[in-house]
Structure 1
Amino acid sequence: MNIDTIKDKLKHSFFPAVPIPFDRNGQIHEKAQEKYVNYMNEQPVTGVAVWVHTGRGLLITREQREYIFKSWRKGLSEEKIIICGVGARTAENMTEEKFIENTLEMGTQARDLGADAILVYPPTYYRGKDCMAEKIVDYHKKIAKLGLPMILFYLYNEAGGISYSKEVLEQLFSIENVSGIKMATLDSIVTYQDVSKLIFDKFPHIKLLTGEDRMFGYTVARGASGALVGLGAACQKLQWDMMNSFFQEDYEKFVRLMLDVDKLAECTFVDPMEGYIERMLYILSLQGIIPKDAVNDPYGPGLTQNEKEQIKNVLRELNLC
């Protein structure tokens, strides 16, 4: 899929960042995965994002990545597109060459499997290092040589991201393959506003995707062309209806639905933040989409009974279960 086609797809788009249902032994629950894919194909989404943080993309094996991609491609209708996360984990004593090699290996796998676009994980290897800005830009240029449409990823430091300066963003936005940027600052409204204004003023060809689960509605109103969010793993209709009401200029409906979406986010995207993945899987189980024994994230902190009760109460209030 070429860059212009992807840009068209990103306008008024909705991409759930999809989790992987695991069994209690930490293996992919294939039956649950199949049910989840079939369910998602009937939802009002533009496509899905796999191998991203919600899908534990930097933690699962190459073989698991391949299985997950093929599962989604087989089960989704042709018009729904797949965005693959691409990046690499850092490790003590890792060389820069190895970090780049691992990233390009993941990117090559995405390309060879048929990814429509890639979401580039922030290169945290360079955080605090000399010539950080130059290295960040060069890193993205190397990935661009894969030939896939690219979506940048501005992830807040506390979640393992790295801050991009205005100057860095301007250089990144000038890379030919770059089609958009996902913003996930968690609570930095100022940062989101600044990047939105930069795009509006100087780079209108770049599509801004909100990844702000806790500021979802506001960030749609503040310039997002679409969304790529972990919250979208469940309850897609509510979230799409909210977004679409804004795009259709039905602002009264938008505000009402925004408050409902906020309630959903406020019981799922809470400390410990790494628990949000299993919380979203839990919602899917409450709605009968996946079985209860598939509500496992082997890389997360687990769920408490209190968290489960809070989620149940919110879903009942919103008539979502």
Structure 2
Amino acid sequence: MIITEVRQALAWGLVPAVPVPRDLTGQIHEQAQEAYARYLASQSIAGAAVWAHTGRGLHMDRSERISVLETWRAALGESKLLVAGVGAIPDFRLLGAAKIDRWKQDSLSMAADAVQGGADALLVFPPVILHELPETERNQAIVDYHQALGQLGKPLILFYLYAEAGGIAYSTEVLRALLSLEMSVGIKMATLDSVMTLQDVSTLMSEEFPEQLLITGEDRMFGYSLMRGARGALVGLGAAFPNIQHDLMQAYADGDYAMFMALSARVDGYAESTFIRPMDQYILRMLGCLALSGVIPEEAANDLAHYRMTRQEIASLRRAIERYRLY
């Protein structure tokens, strides 16, 4: 897909960031993975995002990543978007420029695998490693890195992620440079509790980059982020029960504000039951929701980080599903 087509597909579309079902040993549960991909592809989604944080993309080995990509490409067909997260974990055995160079090589290799595997767009993990550089050098390095990814020929979804989840703050000057890149289609905002950051970026985009998409990744501010100008969603919350979230977006797009408010309250309740501290366990909670809804078997609701849910936590998820009438 070309940039225009990707942007059109993302506009008012929901792209779930998908987890990877695993067995108790940590191996991918292939049957559950295929069943999940088929299920989600049949729902009201614009596509799916693999290798994102929800899928532990930076922590999977290359063979696992390629397998996951192939499964989702086959399930989605050509009519839905396949977005792939790209980045790398620094090699801390190296220092200074050598560490950054190796990280960049690994990131570009991951992106090349995504392109080769049929990804339609790349979600760029924030290059946190560049925070080690002096400000002026860092800002230029951030832009240069995104330009290098753009040269692979796939549209880029920029990513503003809160620091606690491994993000980096982009200055207004850096944002302007990134949003001006030829291959940029928009930016995913995931600031969690920094409403000021969301507001500032949304204002910048509406005033200076109206052609670019503000894409919400604000699981805990879903409805509000639409009110602030988001016109697409790429969210971990969408990994389970995507249809109610799609309908929420559609209600706002249609100007049906009574429906929007009603659905927003239910989606907020869902998020407030799953995106809670410890925040990194939201992935396991999404897998738990999928198991409770019968999409994957219970034995496949395991995360690469090897967290475990108590019976009380599972019961809490079940109550949330019923209370907020998720579908």
Same fold (TM over 0.5): yes
* Partner Cα separation in structure 1 for residue 59 and residue 35 of structure 2: 23
- Identify the residue that residue 92 of structure 2 maps to in structure 1: 92
* Partner Cα separation in structure 2 for residue 250 and residue 36 of structure 1: 31
SS in 1 for 2:274: coil
Pick the aligned partner of 2:273 from 264, 267, 271: 267
SS in 2 for 1:267: helix
SS in 1 for 2:153: coil
Q: Does the 8 Å CA contact 2:187/2:214 hold for their aligned counterparts? A: yes
- Identify the residue that residue 48 of structure 2 maps to in structure 1: 48
* Partner Cα separation in structure 1 for residue 58 and residue 41 of structure 2: 25
- Identify the residue that residue 188 of structure 1 maps to in structure 2: 194
- Identify the residue that residue 312 of structure 1 maps to in structure 2: 318
SS in 1 for 2:84: strand
Q: Does the 8 Å CA contact 1:264/1:315 hold for their aligned counterparts? A: yes
- Identify the residue that residue 112 of structure 1 maps to in structure 2: 116
Post-superposition offset of 1:147: 1.2
Q: Does the 8 Å CA contact 1:274/1:301 hold for their aligned counterparts? A: no
Structure 2 counterparts to residues 19-30 of structure 1, below 5 A: 19-30=19-30
For the pair 1:125 / 2:125, whether they are aligned, the reply is no
What per-residue deviation string (whole Å, max 9, x for no partner) do you get for residues 179-201 of structure 1? 11100000111100111111110
Q: Does the 8 Å CA contact 1:283/1:311 hold for their aligned counterparts? A: yes
For the pair 1:289 / 2:295, whether they are aligned, the reply is yes
Post-superposition offset of 1:172: 0.6
* Partner Cα separation in structure 1 for residue 87 and residue 200 of structure 2: 25
Further displaced range: 105-114 or 72-81 = 72-81
- Identify the residue that residue 216 of structure 1 maps to in structure 2: 222
What amino acid is aligned across from residue 257 of structure 2 in structure 1?
A: Y
- Identify the residue that residue 16 of structure 1 maps to in structure 2: 16
For the pair 1:139 / 2:152, whether they are aligned, the reply is no
Post-superposition offset of 1:300: 4.9
What per-residue deviation string (whole Å, max 9, x for no partner) do you get for residues 33-83 of structure 1? 111011111100000000000011000011111111110111123211100
Q: Does the 8 Å CA contact 2:26/2:306 hold for their aligned counterparts? A: no
* Partner Cα separation in structure 1 for residue 172 and residue 93 of structure 2: 30
SS in 2 for 1:228: strand
Number of positions where the alignment pairs a residue of Structure 1 with one of Structure 2: 321
* Partner Cα separation in structure 2 for residue 319 and residue 185 of structure 1: 27
For the pair 1:202 / 2:191, whether they are aligned, the reply is no
What per-residue deviation string (whole Å, max 9, x for no partner) do you get for residues 125-146 of structure 1? 1124212212111111111111
For the pair 1:103 / 2:107, whether they are aligned, the reply is yes
Further displaced range: 30-39 or 308-317 = 308-317
* Partner Cα separation in structure 1 for residue 115 and residue 81 of structure 2: 13
SS in 2 for 1:15: strand
SS in 1 for 2:25: coil
Post-superposition offset of 1:113: 1.0
What amino acid is aligned across from residue 36 of structure 2 in structure 1?
A: Y
Post-superposition offset of 1:167: 0.5
Q: Which 5+ residue runs of structure 2 have no aligned equivalent?
A: none
CA RMSD of aligned residues (A): 1.1
Q: Does the 8 Å CA contact 2:217/2:233 hold for their aligned counterparts? A: yes
**How many percent identity over aligned positions?**
46
Post-superposition offset of 1:238: 0.9
Q: Does the 8 Å CA contact 1:274/1:300 hold for their aligned counterparts? A: no
**Which runs of 4 or more aligned residues in structure 1 lie more than 3 Å from their structure 2 counterparts after TM superposition?**
none
* Partner Cα separation in structure 2 for residue 283 and residue 109 of structure 1: 30
Q: Which 5+ residue runs of structure 1 have no aligned equivalent?
A: none
What per-residue deviation string (whole Å, max 9, x for no partner) do you get for residues 152-190 of structure 1? 000011111100010000011111001111000001111
Pick the aligned partner of 2:286 from 272, 280, 283: 280
* Partner Cα separation in structure 2 for residue 17 and residue 314 of structure 1: 21
Q: Does the 8 Å CA contact 1:272/1:301 hold for their aligned counterparts? A: no
* Partner Cα separation in structure 1 for residue 325 and residue 4 of structure 2: 39
SS in 1 for 2:277: coil
Which TM-score applies when normalising by structure 2?
Answer: 0.96
